[in-house]
Amino acid sequence: MHIEISPQDGVPIYRQIANQVKYLIASGRLKTNEELPPIRVLAEQLLITPNTVVKAYHELQSEGLVYKRRGAGTFVADTKSPLARREQKRILIGRADALLSEAKQLGFTFDEVLEMVRSRQSALDKTAGKEQSDARPRG
Amino acid sequence: MPDPVVDVQQLSRSYGRTQALKQVDLLVRPGQVYGLVGANGAGKTTLIKHLLGLLRAQQGQVRVFNRDPVREPVPVLQQIGYLSEQRDLPEWMRVDELLRYTRAFHPGWDADYAAELLDTFGLDPSKKIKELSKGMRAQAGLIAAVAHRPQLLLLDEPSTGLDALVRRDILNAIIRAVADDGRTAIFSSHLLEEVQLMSDRIVMIDAGQILLDGTLDDLLECHHTFVVDTRNAPIDLVNLPGVLSSEDHGPHSKLVCEHPRVNHEELLANGAQIIQARGATLTEIFVARAGRTQVGKMQQTDEVAMS
């Protein structure tokens, strides 16, 4: 599991970890019932006190995103749960807020931002379509 | 609550006219990593030497595993793993001789663990200590300090002068002790970023006194850093109560503040334009809290005490 932390961030490390795991789950990079790294392993990877990992996993557990099996490790909970959906929404809302405030600072109107989002979507659709046809076996 | 591993009460110590420790209270609970932070000569090493029973309390009381480490050194030291910056190892010994020698003092010696670490570090057991590089010496000292699986790891500036790889070995030994068996570690370091990542609790010591003692999360929670544009501020923001320090960066200033004593609203009300607001780092907190007092003054006396 790839996690990156930054002590300069001003955000507590356990929250940085929890947020990134949430993101990995919400984006499908961690699948339901997949095991998270054991506490010692993640602590050694990030060079942090193990209790920080304990705290991060605990927070994820209390939000229903992971579950613990006794004597075993920590596993990703069913991501189709309403809780996971709420988390996915929360991530997008954060991105939307950042986009809107940046747009405002740069002097774009809301309608201009909307228009930009729409045009980006059709650009992405085109690339996706092209990739698909590229991937098709040639006969 | 479980018994404390270390219980220091009102410990004072002076060398001649210099007061090295002033009414220090310290309670260490099991299963946590304590980061001991302070400038050179602040008293960190003197405090650690009291825990090891190398110094007798002039005033106050020191209990380690509920014993007096000066009067009962054997049962106390058997449960401690100690690594010092000096790594005062016997130069003439070979690595395997050092480990055999250390093992004799520790009934709980775990030979498999020692062998595993030797292998991980790629240390040649037949080499003499005096032939080892600085990093290898630290690794040898580390094995000698942890292979008896001590309940308390005491690491005094373990990372000083070491490359990133050996530092990782040392930090991993702490992580392993705490994660696998819920043991306890106290370590001091100049590398505050490392301390911030590795510690559950921070003990900040300055001029022999405990300046701050609490969980890292609480400490970070109650210090904020603001970058402000002060050109329109009618008063000098540095003088606001709760502003601990400021750095002048041209038209901008970086303020480290007590939170929530100083907040957005107050800074805005005083004419500051806020460019950036975030939690403070441990380095910023340390510089803001201990930066103004004179440092380095007591280092000489510390060294006298060690010889």
Domains and CATH numbers, chain B: 6-218 (3.40.50.300), 222-302 (3.30.70)
Grade residue B304 by pLDDT with cuts at 50, 70 and 90. Answer: very low
Chain A residues within 8 A of B168 when measuring between CB atoms: 47
- The answer on A13 and A65 residing in a single domain is yes
Is A17 within the bounds of a domain?
yes
Query: A27: domain CATH number?
Result: 1.10.10.10
Is A2 within the bounds of a domain?
no
Which residues are CB-contacts of B158 (< 8 A; sequence separation ≥ 6)?
B83, B85, B138, B142, B170, B187, B189
Q: What percent of chain B has pLDDT over 70?
A: 94
Say which amino acid occupies B97: E
Search chain B and give the residue with CA nearest A49. Answer: B198
- The answer on A96 and A58 residing in a single domain is no
Please judge whether B197 and A47 are an interchain contact, meaning their C-beta atoms are less than 8 angstroms apart. yes
- The answer on A95 and A58 residing in a single domain is no
Among A9, A47, A50, beta carbon nearest to B168:
A47
Search chain B and give the residue with CA nearest A10. Answer: B279
So what's the pLDDT on residue A82?
65
CA atoms within 13 A on the CB side of B157: 15
- The answer on A67 and A100 residing in a single domain is no
What residues make up the domain containing A40?
7-76
Mutate to test the interface with A, among B196, B197, B216 (most CBs of A within 10 A): B197
Q: Give the C-alpha separation, A100 to B105, whole Å.
A: 66
Residue (of B305, B147, B282, B159) closest to B222 by Cα position = B282
Among A8, A44, A51, beta carbon nearest to B200:
A51
Is A43 within the bounds of a domain?
yes
**Which range, of A6-10, A106-110, A116-120, averages the lowest pLDDT?**
A6-10
Please judge whether B175 and A43 are an interchain contact, meaning their C-beta atoms are less than 8 angstroms apart. yes
pLDDT, tens digit, 9 for 90 and up, residues B133-185: 989 999 999 999 999 999 999 999 988 888 889 999 999 999 999 998 889 99
Q: Is the dihedral of CA B185, B188, B193, B194 positive or negative?
A: negative
Considering its fold, how many domains does chain A have in total? Answer: 2
> Do B12 and B21 form a contact (C-beta atoms < 8 A)?
yes
In this prediction the pTM is 0.81
Domain boundary among A30, A58, A76: A76
B231 or B43: which leads in pLDDT: B43
∠ CA A50-A91-A127, rounded to 5°: 115
Search chain A and give the residue with CA nearest B34. Answer: A49
ipTM attached to this prediction: 0.82
- The answer on A68 and A45 residing in a single domain is yes
Chain B residues within 8 A of A8 when measuring between CB atoms: 281
Q: Give the C-alpha separation, B218 to B26, whole Å.
A: 17
Tell me which residues of chain A have a C-beta less than 8 Å from any C-beta of chain B: 5, 7-14, 39-40, 43-44, 46-52
pLDDT, tens digit, 9 for 90 and up, residues A75-109: 998 866 666 677 778 878 988 988 998 888 889 99
Domain boundary among A61, A76, A91: A76
Q: Give the C-alpha separation, A112 to B224, whole Å.
A: 36
